[in-house]
Copies of this chain bind each other. A is one copy, B any other.
Amino acid sequence: MFSTETYQRRRDKLANSNSEGIFLFLGNIENPINFEHNAYPFRQDSTFLYFFGISQPAIAAIIDLDEQKTIVFGDEATLDEIVWTGKLETLKSKSQKSGVSHTLPYSQLGQYLNNAKNKGRKVHFLPPYQSANKLLLSDLLGQPVKQLQASPTFIKAVVALRAIKEDQEVQQIEEAVRVSTEMHLLAMRLTRAGIKEGNIASEIACFAANHNCRLAYPPIVTKHGEILHNSHQLNTIENGDMLLNDSGVETQMGYAADLTRTIPVGKRFSSKQKEIYNIVLDALSAARDALKPGIKYKEVHLLACQRLVKGLVSLGIMKGDPDKAVAQNAHSLFFQCGLGHLMGLDVHDMEDLGEQYVGYTPGEPKDTHTFGLKSLRLGRTLESGFVVTVEPGIYFIPTLIDQWQSENKLSEFINYNKLAQYRDFGGIRIEDDFLITQDGYRLLGPELIKTVDEIENYRSHNA
């Protein structure tokens, strides 16, 4: 946990957001795998962590704006439970560390909210993403699940605070990046012909655990880098393949890192691989250098797209004017997704709160129709204190290529004959994490080797 004062201050700021009613915070539960008592590892809700810092299943809290009360609801362990779990720190004690002296049994939460509602007071809640909390809210508020309406007031107040990282949060994220860079180097050392993708994935999970972290998201470790969310890791990797590793840890306090490297399974990239790699790296550098307060992340995204197209034109895979190609969305045959997202207590920070509030603003809404842009999670104007990922890539997806080619789509920008030589190339992504500073950006954590030379040099000594 951070200091008591930290949580106090965050809650005070939230309470000063000029609202009325009750802010309701629901913690997460232990989610069953295949029966109730066989549960997935517990992960507390990030907003609950942000304002209370207590990582324990089945608790809730309220900030009562009208009566100026803050209460944590939850049950202390019974003797029967202590037999099974051992003596644990009490919720009372944890709450005090969080600066909350008022705790009540969980069963009293419903009554508290009911009383408030009967007085015509408003109960604000955040969008529930776990089904258990949808059911719980429905019970607590006496409304069908489908009629539950999360509070935009509450969401906006939370996003305004969580989006700007405190120094101690940046330190946490840098620690996550630091462990993640070591984890990536381990993965590079393990990468060799004959090993299965899944073996590397399980070794890095172990590495994270041994460093008091856990993986912030299911790692993507694949020779098929063109499969953007490849969670199947059954392939055996061979010389000539590249291995894409998109993985990061979260610290015990819940702060995430998100890094991607793509390396040759042998000691060197082929010249074809090197060419594509350097295009992606150029796009990353250009996008990174553009990062600063006041620029729209969507512009940074489009800049990266333009650089990708320029590179592909130089190889003869694309043709025509890069700016026009991007305006026509021709790059999306090779870069189908967004350039990056906010990062913090969630790897896609606050994604549960709704993209329209987190990655966009009412004045800068999302383009939800254009292929590519509709997958861009972050479009809004950057501010000092934001933490963002930058993760350009070039992906040759046979199914998509076939589809476009069958329609001869945007053939003024795509050289389908040349492209045929790359049909089975795979995909390359490179990703780093940045803090937006007052005058630009700062790479978070130690630098992880990234250029062709650095990677080939590392592999020649460690592969």
- Contact surface of A with B, Cβ cutoff 8 Å: 28, 31-41, 43, 45-46, 79, 82-88, 129-132, 134-135, 138, 145, 198-199, 201-203, 205-206, 209-210, 212, 217-218, 224, 226-232, 336, 345-348, 350-352, 397, 399-400, 403
Q: Which 4 A-B pairs have the closest CB atoms?
A: A202-B209, A131-B131, A86-B227, A206-B206
B227, A351: Cβ atoms under 8 Å?
A: no
Query: Which among B32, B79, B84, B397 is the interface contact of A227 at CB below 8 angstroms?
Result: B84
Q: For residue A201, which residues in chain B have a CB less than 8 angstroms away from its CB?
A: 209
Distance (Å) between the CB of A391 and the closest chain B CB? 15
Residue of B nearest to A377 (CB): B37
Task: Identify which of B31, B87, B145 contacts A31 (C-beta below 8 A).
Answer: B31
Q: Are B352 and A230 in contact (CB under 8 A)?
A: no
A334 to B206, CA, bound (A): 35
19 A/B residue pairs, CB under 8 Å, sorted by A:
A34-B45, A34-B46, A35-B352, A38-B218, A38-B346, A38-B347, A38-B348, A40-B41, A83-B400, A85-B228, A85-B230, A87-B399, A131-B134, A134-B135, A198-B212, A201-B209, A202-B206, A202-B209, A206-B206
Contacts of A40 in B (CB 8 A): 31, 33, 40-41
What residues of B have a CB within 8 angstroms of the CB of A346 in the complex? 34-35, 38
The listed residue (B35, B79, B347) touching A399 by CB distance below 8 A is B79
Give A113 Cβ to nearest chain B Cβ, in Å. Answer: 18
Interface pair A202/B199, CB less than 8 Å apart: no
Q: How far is the CB of A425 from chain B (nearest CB, A)?
A: 14
Contacting residues, chain B, for A37 (C-beta < 8 A): 348, 351
In angstroms, Cα B344 to Cα A4, docked, is 47
Cross-chain contact B336 with A399 (CB below 8 angstroms): no
- Determine the distance from Cα of A87 to Cα of B224 in the docked complex, in whole angstroms: 11
Contacts of A350 in B (CB 8 A): 35
What residue in chain B is nearest A222 (Cβ atoms)?
Answer: B86
Give the docked Cα–Cα distance between A368 and B45 (Å).
35
Is there an interface contact between A35 and B129, defined as CB atoms closer than 8 Å?
yes
CA distance A86 to B43 in the complex (A): 29
* Chain B residue nearest to A45 in the complex (CB): B34
Q: A198-B209, A206-B203 are in contact. Are A39 and B87 (CB under 8 A)?
A: no
Q: Are A32 and B202 in contact (CB under 8 A)?
A: no
Which residue of chain B lies nearest to A229 when distances are taken between CB atoms in the complex?
A: B84
Contacts of A79 in B (CB 8 A): 399-400, 403
Within 8 Å by CB of A218, from B32, B41, B224, lies: B41
Tell me the bound Cα distance from A202 to B345 in angstroms: 23
Asked whether B134 lies within 8 Å of A397 as measured between CB atoms, the reply is no
Q: Least Cβ distance of A229 to chain B in Å?
A: 5
B135/A34 in contact, CB under 8 A: no
Candidate in A145, A218, A226 with the most chain B CB atoms within 10 angstroms: A218
A86: contacting residue among B83, B84, B230, B403, CB under 8 A: B230
> Which residue of chain B has the shortest Cβ distance to A40 in the bound complex?
B40
Q: How far is the CA of A28 from the CA of B131 in the complex (A)?
A: 12
Known: A28-B34, A85-B230. 8 other contacts (CB 8 A): A32-B352, A34-B45, A35-B129, A41-B218, A84-B228, A85-B227, A85-B231, A135-B145
Of chain B, the residue at the smallest CB distance from A46 is B34
Contacts A134-B135, A206-B203, A209-B202 given; does A228 touch B35 at CB 8 Å: no
Q: How far is the CB of A433 from chain B (nearest CB, A)?
A: 16
Q: How far is the CA of A229 from the CA of B82 in the complex (A)?
A: 10
- In this complex, what residue of B is CB-closest to A231? B85
Establish whether residues B36 and A43, one from each chain, have CB atoms under 8 Å apart when the complex forms.
no
A132 touches B129 (CB 8 A): no
Closest to A201 in B: B209
Interchain CA distance A46-B198 in the complex, whole Å: 24
Report B-chain residues with C-beta under 8 Å of the C-beta of A43. Answer: 33-34
Q: Is the CB of A131 within 8 A of B129?
A: no
Residues from chain B with Cβ under 8 Å of A202 in the complex: 205-206, 209-210
Q: How far is the CB of A66 from chain B (nearest CB, A)?
A: 30
Known contacts A210-B199, A210-B202, A218-B39; A130 and B230 CB within 8 A of each other: no
Query: Complex Cα distance A135/B145, Å?
Result: 8
A44 to chain B, nearest CB (A): 8
Residue of chain B at shortest CB distance from A397 = B83
Taking the nearest CB of chain B, how far is it from the CB of A59, in angstroms?
16
Bound Cα distance A82, B400 (Å): 9
